[in-house]
Structure 1
Amino acid sequence: MGISEDLRGPVSRRAFTAALTGGAAVVALGGCARAEPAGPGAETGVDEEEAVARAYTFLDRRVDEAAGGTRQGLPRSYTGGWMETHHSTVAFTYDVALTVIAYCARGTDADLRRAGALAGTLLALQDGDPAGDGRIRQSYASGKVTGADGLPAVAAADSFTGAQAWTGLALLHVHRATDGARYRAGALRLADWIQDRTASATGIPGHTGGLPASGPALTWKSTEHNIDVAAFFGRLADVTGDRAWADRAAVATGFLDALWNEDGPAFWTGTGTDGATVNRSPVPEDPQSWSYLATGDARHAGSLDWALTHLAAEDGGFSGVSVSDADTSKVWFEGTAHLAAALRRRGGDGDREEADRFLATLRAAQAHAPNADGYGIVAASSDGLRTGDGDTLYASLHTGTTAWFALAALGADPFLPE
């Protein structure tokens, strides 16, 4: 995930900013050789079970150090390296949601206490937001930096669609794990916000990017956001029994069908501001793996193979995939975990072996990557990985990457609350 100087952070890429216009040049999606992901130090002396336990210890430390004021604080997203200097007090909402989901996936009593505390803070932030319309913001101050009401202060006030959907998914995971009605109610408020503010029949029907901190509503549509919405609304239909949410999820999956490039085969990025002109550059990793995790649609399963071949990256002895085809000079460890999780779910010939090689790379990164502490996992194999939309990734320990590793290793799908 990319980092912007205005603290939009990971979600600036998830927003697919308006700089990615529909007039971008076409990217060739032809074939090339598959790289085999195998990182250095596969001989780490730590097996997968121990590595996962260490990942959860890292998340525990970030969550526990954030406690402050009258409510539980939110864990900072990044520690160590470049990000320690520039954004160490920021909790990106997407990363908080992933942490909640990872806790629900393992599901010990201590995990569920922490998940409930974080989800409770998200609900309180939703309730206390000055807009009063059910939204959540892109990022908040972490730890003991709180507002006058004892809640974390807003760091970036944007309300992009993806962050709303991921927060809703996290609340549904906690609802499933604890049978807590208030989490379902919070998820419904977020879903209503997404539907009321972003549903658009202009151009290709789907959901737009949301609301920036200031200025008019965003009119472009991203494939990634529509994957998030499709999964969230589909799960909400399951939880509530309300068919309307299934119908709304179908609009988002229809957008995915429209953005599918059979010749790749892969998903294009999204649309320009007209909601219709297809944006073909850069082609990112997350829609390729998230689409399969969210839908299991066999028609689009080839997107995983496209990511394996076209986004293969090697750096510093690590092998995996990168953020997009704009820069494959370094390994994006979060995306490598995405793809491992998706390959395990697909379960085709060689998929399990490929996923295992990715997970070995992630264990090696846990032990040996720059700024590694033996517990968390850094975002990138070295500093300076360009995302293709103006952001840059660094070798700083990251809660989101660590949570994705835990989910992939456990065989859990964050889009499917169980």
Structure 2
Amino acid sequence: MSGSTRRSAPWVIAAALVAAALVAGAASAASGDATPDDPTAAGAAPDPTLSVSLAYEFLDARVDEFCDGAGHCLPRSYQGGFFTDLPTWDFTPSFVYDDALVVIAYTARGLPDDIRRAQAVGDTLLFVQDEDPIGDGRVRTSYEPHGIRQGRVEITGPGTFTGNQAWVGMALTRLFHATGEQKYLDGAVRIAQWIQRNTADMSRAPYGYTGGQLEDGTSLVWKSTEHNSDISGFFTQLAQLTGDPVWADRAAVATDFVAAMQSADGHVDTGTLLDGSTVNTHPVPLDSQTWTSLATGDARYDAALDWTLANLIATDGQYQGPSISDTDVSKVWFEGSGHLALALKLRNGAGDADRAEALLDSIRLGQRDAANGDGKGIVATSTDGLDSGFGDLYYASLHTGATAWYLLAAAGDNPFSLPVD
């Protein structure tokens, strides 16, 4: 999967473990036939404030479920539907990308219990970093929360993908920013050094960062737009927090790679093929459009957001929002709805506020009505079987990552940037 997405698909790891129409359409779905004065009527738009509170309650329960006596906690990423209902298994691994988003979402609200839970997860990320069998600063794709509850590290996704490293790094920089505790910045720097040592490619233009390593140490030699967007944001934060300009220089390398992936019609391609230079033009993922905008703040990616609105919006029953890529636009990817809504909010062009709110309204409908939901968390997709285009499927199961992205979008908090004091 050259130029593939940042994480291994849950179903792939599970298999190893067990052998402008947008605004009108979403607003119509949100309102239905209910009157504005009857918020409990079928089809009425859920209350945004209550919705946010319920979503945090969902994350609270997930974080508190798997903790050890030392205060380490790690939430399972998925629950319900495909990942729970089969009679012979319950898929519980915790993906560090999702964990990073949970940490950042807690810092976005910042209540005392939020920071306590954010630190519990962040301390666990430092724990698995310290206890890694290689011990060179990396973290892995996913871990088993049952192991954490027993005070041990059980790796379920042993790959070391560059984007995951950067997301954990951004979670740790957020915790340092929120608490001032040096251990979080030290952990973030260790991860950044691993990325620089193992993935920097300054020999094959366009220069940038490669995909990471497989379990056996094999390097992934393609470059991903998503990964380089992550690095752009992460290394920029490190430059701000450490005062070391080398991180700004390295962030610029990643930023320039992302710019090289933008096509003539404005969309941003997924990355390169195995040669590290030839552009991989299919599929075209949502993340390459939204994360480039969020990570760089560059107006050139306004065209990528416009391309997204014209080409990646799915309608699935009462739900409307983006799909994962142009491979399958039959279902809504609620995680993507969160980062598209956030990107539109921050762009703040004509009509963007309404478009963002329509996306958030559709997520709230899913929170209340979607199959396999619990009325609090957000499911990954509107219905089962969304094809990402990268060899994996996504399901309508409760997802910590999708819930965290919703909360960040609702708050207008950009995870690729440190909050302004």
Residues 1:5 and 2:15 are matched in the alignment: no
**How far did residue 308 of structure 1 move?**
1.0
- Counterpart for residue 398 of structure 2: 397
Deviation sequence 1:256-292 (CA, Å, 0-9, x none): 11101132x1100100111001000000001101111
User: TM-score, normalised to structure 1's length?
Assistant: 0.90
Deviation sequence 1:137-182 (CA, Å, 0-9, x none): 000002x33497x233111110000000000000011101001111
- Counterpart for residue 55 of structure 2: 55
Residues 1:209 and 2:211 are matched in the alignment: yes
Counting only pairs closer than 5 Å after superposition, residues 295-334 of structure 1 correspond to structure 2 as 295-334=296-335
**How far did residue 333 of structure 1 move?**
0.6
Aligned letter for 1:35?
L
Q: State the alpha-carbon separation in 1 of the partners of residues 238 and 65 from structure 2.
A: 32
For 1:231, what is the secondary structure of its paired residue?
Answer: helix
- Counterpart for residue 162 of structure 1: 163
- Counterpart for residue 375 of structure 1: 376
Q: State the alpha-carbon separation in 2 of the partners of residues 146 and 108 from structure 1.
A: 25
Which of 104, 107, 110 is matched with 2:110 structurally?
107
Q: Is the 8 A contact 2:229 2:258 kept in 1?
A: yes
- Counterpart for residue 221 of structure 2: 219
Q: Is the 8 A contact 1:311 1:322 kept in 2?
A: yes
Which of 112, 131, 135 is matched with 1:132 structurally?
135
Which structure exhibits the higher relative contact order, with contacts defined as CA atoms closer than 8 Å and separated by 6 or more residues? 1
Q: Is the 8 A contact 2:14 2:91 kept in 1?
A: no
Q: Is the 8 A contact 2:46 2:365 kept in 1?
A: no
- Counterpart for residue 353 of structure 1: 354
Which of 88, 93, 97 is matched with 1:94 structurally?
97
Residues 1:35 and 2:16 are matched in the alignment: no
State the Cα RMSD in Å: 1.7
Q: State the alpha-carbon separation in 1 of the partners of residues 22 and 30 from structure 2.
A: 18
- Counterpart for residue 122 of structure 1: 125
Residues 1:247 and 2:234 are matched in the alignment: no
Q: Is the 8 A contact 2:66 2:148 kept in 1?
A: no
**How far did residue 215 of structure 1 move?**
4.7
For 2:12, what is the secondary structure of its paired residue?
Answer: coil
Aligned letter for 1:235?
Q
Q: Is the 8 A contact 2:268 2:284 kept in 1?
A: yes
Q: Using the TM superposition, name which of 151-160 and 222-231 deviates more.
A: 151-160
Aligned letter for 1:47?
D
Deviation sequence 1:44-102 (CA, Å, 0-9, x none): 46311110111000000000011135442310001110022466311001000000000
**How far did residue 401 of structure 1 move?**
0.2
**How far did residue 397 of structure 1 move?**
0.5
Seen in structure 2, the aligned counterparts of structure 1 residues 8 and 147 have a Cα distance that, compared at 3 Å, is farther
Unaligned runs of 5+ in 1: 10-32
**How far did residue 372 of structure 1 move?**
1.6
Q: Is the 8 A contact 1:327 1:388 kept in 2?
A: yes
For 2:156, what is the secondary structure of its paired residue?
Answer: strand
Aligned letter for 2:77?
S
Aligned letter for 2:222?
W
Q: Using the TM superposition, name which of 349-358 and 295-304 deviates more.
A: 295-304
For 1:72, what is the secondary structure of its paired residue?
Answer: coil
Q: State the alpha-carbon separation in 2 of the partners of residues 147 and 196 from structure 1.
A: 32
Q: State the alpha-carbon separation in 2 of the partners of residues 164 and 187 from structure 1.
A: 9
Aligned letter for 1:357?
A
Seen in structure 2, the aligned counterparts of structure 1 residues 45 and 332 have a Cα distance that, compared at 3 Å, is closer
Counting only pairs closer than 5 Å after superposition, residues 138-177 of structure 1 correspond to structure 2 as 138-142=141-145, 144-146=146-148, 150-177=151-178
**How far did residue 8 of structure 1 move?**
9.6
**How far did residue 35 of structure 1 move?**
3.5
For 2:220, what is the secondary structure of its paired residue?
Answer: coil
Q: State the alpha-carbon separation in 2 of the partners of residues 353 and 181 from structure 1.
A: 41
For 2:57, what is the secondary structure of its paired residue?
Answer: helix
